[in-house]
């Protein structure tokens, strides 16, 4: 499972059907174990999420963050139920009491706090550690708490009195992870001293010291029956230990960076691990094999587009790659590598044999879809390339840039045919007219310009928007220009008469048959009658203004909350493709809905 940023914490739900992960990208994600897909992305934290856990019944998730807050989330809706504030430094660890009534948290402020999960109030503040408290955990009966600290000690606390029952000393380095056995008789701890220790809660004595890791132990967990311990380490391995013998039963290799979090499934058959290599892996305990690690983009998806026949989608991402996806299988057919910075815009040529991409590395690249090779690397812009498009015949490409210029390129020679100057701020969107005789551009200067593609002269400058123009397009016959803006309006401008009007309806058909759908306030998609699938009652889909609904003539479908935080979209007939900050690309088909 590709997360998109360093995974700091992972945990199974009690039924083993889901995994929750916390990441350096400030998000909490809930994954389906069977499909490997993200079911929900929980946004709200403003800094890294260092710890996550499910409630016993799986209905809630708790997360702790470097933003000093603890948050409780509803798993079904993805909504935040409570935000618990009080810690004065980063929250490093969180856990639910078995009945879900309380939450505990450990913090860099050296305290452990017990919170009422319903009221959000602090019930107790446990003080005693002399340095950061990193891990915390409840015993199964809820009567005790165990905490570990950078002061190299493990402490066991009485929940009722708030007093320390035992202070366990022995580690020679910071204690990074702790956990109770199921019956509460033992505690395990993992430390920067590269060891795992098993402690007797009653006597405070070390029953076993597990050695083998060659770097700090970041995470430890018991199996449900208490017979095994799993540990994750900076040495990039996951180890499964036999509690009775102290021997390593399995050493799981595959991660390419430190393993920051590990957990057993309830039945003990699987282990989940999260790593600084940005992946979440599910391992089979018996075979030691990886059972799931789906791939995808590893950062924001900035642009998506359908091929003309609707069989493929191209996506560009902040992970510097361009990917071509098969719409039917959902698999990546080709991963195009070469850009050295974020890929901000992508598009197919009309016949689908080429892709053009524009990047923050200041280049435009033309790719062969079949071979995955770069056919041309177009250099000339002096700042980020923000938008690219092919002419209808595929012979030219137009690009817009932060350098305030629009450039027209010859695809065969790779040469600049025209450099169009006039905008006074970043060019956000560009497009050719269908006959290739004109180019339209929208800019952060709130202006739209129509250019003669042959002479490079400005034929018209369109005013009216009060904020950046983010999307532009010609109608099929070139008689009208449609443009959307950050001022949350869409305008239609008649090139011949010079008349401009605001678009109030959610969709409109222009005189030449071109259909314009408002997909959100200030954005639109245009459909050309000669380039779309044969119409049917449900042939055309569109997004509602708030992005919560996919709508067609006879059917509306509500997008689940976890799919609403998309960063870009593309529409082809009844299909809508959405790209997400998490790196996901999701395709919906309104005709496939039951």
Domain definitions of the chain by residue range:
22-504, 542-589
Instruction: Note the CATH architecture for domain 22-504.
Output: 7 Propeller (2.130)
Q: Which letter does DSSP use for residue 215 in this model? A: S
Give the residues across from 23 on adjacent strands: 7
Alpha helices in 149-221 (DSSP H): none
Measured at the CA of 117, the angle between CA 176 and CA 563, to 5 degrees, comes to 85
Give the per-residue pLDDT at 530: 58
**CA 303 to CA 326: how far, in whole Å?**
16
Q: Write the DSSP symbol of residue 563.
A: G
pLDDT of amino acid 300: 78
What is the three-class DSSP state of 88? coil
Residue 391 CA: distances (Å) to CA of 53, 351, 411: 51, 11, 10
| pTM for the whole structure | 0.53
CA 111 – CA 232 distance, rounded (Å)? 25
pLDDT tens-place string over residues 71-84: 999 998 888 999 99
Residue 88 is predicted with a pLDDT of 94
Task: Find, among 38, 35, 30, the residue nearest to 566 by Cα.
Answer: 38
* pLDDT score recorded for residue 278: 66
Task: Kindly report the number of other CB atoms within 10 A of residue 342's CB atom.
Answer: 18
Quick one: DSSP state of residue 331?
-
Q: How far is CA 122 from CA 105, 142, 355, 402, in A?
A: 10, 16, 56, 50
Q: What is the pLDDT of residue 265?
A: 79
Three-state DSSP at 262 gives: strand
Compute the distance between CA of residue 64 and CA of residue 119 in angstroms, rounded to an integer: 17
DSSP states of 129-154: -SS-EEEEEE-TTSSEEEEEETTS-E
Q: What is the mean pLDDT of each run of 10 residues along the chain (594 residues)?
A: 63 85 88 80 90 91 95 91 94 90 94 92 93 90 92 94 93 93 93 95 93 93 91 94 94 87 81 75 87 66 80 87 81 87 92 94 94 93 95 95 96 94 95 94 94 93 87 92 91 86 83 80 75 45 71 70 76 76 72 54
Per-residue confidence (pLDDT) for residue 6, from 0 to 100: 64
Task: Give pLDDT, residue 574.
Answer: 72
pLDDT of 533: 44
- Partner residues linked to 307 by β-bridges: none
pLDDT in tens, 140-181: 888 999 999 999 999 999 998 989 999 999 999 999 999 999
Quote the pLDDT of residue 582: 66
Mean pLDDT of the residues in the chain: 87
Residue bearing tokens 């202070």: 167
Q: Which value, in Å, is the radius of gyration of the alpha carbons in the chain?
A: 28
């Amino acid at each position: 499972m590709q997360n998109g940023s360093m995974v700091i914490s992972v945990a199974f739900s009690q039924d083993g059907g889901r995994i929750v992960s916390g990441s350096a990208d400030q998000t909490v994600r809930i994954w389906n174990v069977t499909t490997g897909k993200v079911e929900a992305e929980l946004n709200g934290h403003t800094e890294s999420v260092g710890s996550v856990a499910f409630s016993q019944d799986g209905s809630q998730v708790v997360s702790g963050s470097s933003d000093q807050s603890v948050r409780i989330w509803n798993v079904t809706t993805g909504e935040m139920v409570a935000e618990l504030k009080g810690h004065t430094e980063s929250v490093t660890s969180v856990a639910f009491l078995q009945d879900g009534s309380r939450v505990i948290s450990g913090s860099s402020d050296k305290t452990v706090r017990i919170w009422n999960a319903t009221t959000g109030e602090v019930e107790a503040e446990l003080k005693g550690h002399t340095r950061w408290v990193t891990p915390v955990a409840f015993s199964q009966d809820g009567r005790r708490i165990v905490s570990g600290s950078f002061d190299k000690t493990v402490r066991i606390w009485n929940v009722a009195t708030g007093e320390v029952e035992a202070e366990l000393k022995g580690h020679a380095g910071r204690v990074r992870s702790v956990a109770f056995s199921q019956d509460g008789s033992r505690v395990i701890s993992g430390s920067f001293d590269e060891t795992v220790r098993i402690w007797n809660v009653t006597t405070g004595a070390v029953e076993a010291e597990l050695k083998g890791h060659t770097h700090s132990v970041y995470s430890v967990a018991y199996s449900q029956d208490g017979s095994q311990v799993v540990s994750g380490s900076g040495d990039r391995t996951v180890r499964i230990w036999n509690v009775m013998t102290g021997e390593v039963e399995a050493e799981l290799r595959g991660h390419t960076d430190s393993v920051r979090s590990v957990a057993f499934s309830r039945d003990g058959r699987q282990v989940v691990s999260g790593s600084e290599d940005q992946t979440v892996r599910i391992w089979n305990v018996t075979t030691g094999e990886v059972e799931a690690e789906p791939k995808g983009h590893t950062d924001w998806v900035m642009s998506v587009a359908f091929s003309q026949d609707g069989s493929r989608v191209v996506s560009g991402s902040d992970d510097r790659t361009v990917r071509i996806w098969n719409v039917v299988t959902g698999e990546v057919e080709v991963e195009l590598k070469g850009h050295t910075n974020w890929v901000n815009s992508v598009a197919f040529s009309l016949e689908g044999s080429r892709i053009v991409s524009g990047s923050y590395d200041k280049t435009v690249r033309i790719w062969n879809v079949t071979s995955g090779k770069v056919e041309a690397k177009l250099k000339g812009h002096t700042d980020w390339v923000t938008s690219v498009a092919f002419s209808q015949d595929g012979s030219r490409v137009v690009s817009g840039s932060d350098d305030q210029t629009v450039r027209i390129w010859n695809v065969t020679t790779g040469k600049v045919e025209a450099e169009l100057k006039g905008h006074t701020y970043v060019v956000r969107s560009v497009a050719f007219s269908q006959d290739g005789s004109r180019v339209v551009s929208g800019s952060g200067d709130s202006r739209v310009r129509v250019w003669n593609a042959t002479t490079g002269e400005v034929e018209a400058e369109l005013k009216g928007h009060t904020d950046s123009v983010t999307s532009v397009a010609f109608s099929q016959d070139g008689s009208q220009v449609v443009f959307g803006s950050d001022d949350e309006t869409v305008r239609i401008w008649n090139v011949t008469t010079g008349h401009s009007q605001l678009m109030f309806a959610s969709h409109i058909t222009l005189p030449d048959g071109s259909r314009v759908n408002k997909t959100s306030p200030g954005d639109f998609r245009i459909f050309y009658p000669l380039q779309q699938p044969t119409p049917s009652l449900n042939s055309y889909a569109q997004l509602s203004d708030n992005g919560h609904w996919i709508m067609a003539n006879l059917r509306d479908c509500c997008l689940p909350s976890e799919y609403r935080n998309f960063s870009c979209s593309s529409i082809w007939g009844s299909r809508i493709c959405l790209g997400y900050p998490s790196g996901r690309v999701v395709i919906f088909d309104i005709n496939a809905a039951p």
